[in-house]
Amino acid sequence: MTTPSLLLAPMEGLLDFVLRDILTRVGGVDRCVSEFIRITGTLYPERVFLRYVPELLQGCRTASGIPVRPQLLGSDVVCLADNAARLAAMGAEGIDLNFGCPSPVVNRHRGGSALLEEPELLFQIVSGVRRAVPAHLPVSAKMRLGLHDDRRAEACALAIEAAGASELVVHARTKADGYRPPAYWERIADIRQVVRLPLVANGEIWTVADALRCQQVSGCQSLMLGRGMVANPALACGIRAALGANPASASLSWPQLLDLIAEFWRLVCAHLERGQQTGRLKQWLNLLRRVYPQAQTAFAEVRTFHDPADVERWLKTQALAGVGA
């Protein structure tokens, strides 16, 4: 079996530059996609892009050297193209386009998965961005199977391909499906029958077994990992180990993860506003409970904290106690 490309998904309010930094330190990830940058009739100054993708200041790479591709969301073809050109001039690794966000607010403003009702507009957006950036720069896209249903899935993929996209990630659910299981990986296989551009399968990949089954059902070797990677930071390494790639470590012990949590907290305190800090830690611990029993205890202890000083004391206690060792 061919070793796949493993991509770290964009997830608004969760997989920001701080968590990208931490998760790519663990290994196994080939590329990240940023949270979407919403384009609404404005050519943004560079400082706005740097707020979402500070990695632009270091060759569009995380601290571990993993490429980060900025993602744009919107429906204004000209404005999207202009902003993509500015990102290219700033040294972006490529440009990704969001045709999958299920947010009702975004959809009401003709963004994200709402665009899947208009394959012709998808073509215009991708082709406009493709023309606006240098030929060597990849332009990729991420889509769901549709808005209310999946009847236009193939038409949307064909439009994105015809416009010159270099890669397409398919989240195998409609907007109406939200994040409820299952993901319909077999529909990605259907799309593969009509397009030739590289496809990446996404949706409901929580374990190594899920990843292998997704590859089999979808026919895609390359995968995008989202919440599954947040819940199990070693998931990409585990997938590579199952495929014979023999990474340094296919799992993380709880003490190892505590070290990452402490580093995550340091970065959160350095880069995020005080009012956001404890919430971000609770958010990650909440997802970690799916894989680590110790995270249940940690979440119960931290969930009442609002003062960052309480988290500092808790982390010191964990370090002194050698929890899980």
Q: Tokens 């015809």, residue? A: 162
Q: What is the pLDDT of residues 251-261, one digit of tens each?
A: 899 999 999 99
Query: Is residue 121 predicted with pLDDT exceeding 90?
Result: yes
The residues pairing with 199 across neighbouring beta strands, listed in sequence order, are 168
Does residue 29 sit in helix, strand or coil?
Answer: coil
What confidence score (pLDDT) does residue 323 get? 44
Residue 35's Cβ-side half-sphere holds a number of Cα atoms within 13 Å equal to: 18
* Cis, bond preceding 182 (omega within 30 deg of 0): yes
Percent of the chain with pLDDT over 90: 89
Q: 173 and 183 in contact (C-beta within 8 Å)?
A: yes
List residues with catalytic annotation.
101
Tokens in use for 109?
């403003």
Query: At the top level of CATH, which class does the domain 6-242 belong to?
Result: alpha beta
What's the DSSP call for residue 10?
P
Q: What is the pLDDT of residues 44-53, one digit of tens each?
A: 999 999 999 9
Query: Is residue 119 predicted with pLDDT exceeding 80?
Result: yes
Query: What are the sequence ranges of the domains in the chain?
Result: 6-242, 254-321
Query: At the top level of CATH, which class does the domain 254-321 belong to?
Result: mainly alpha
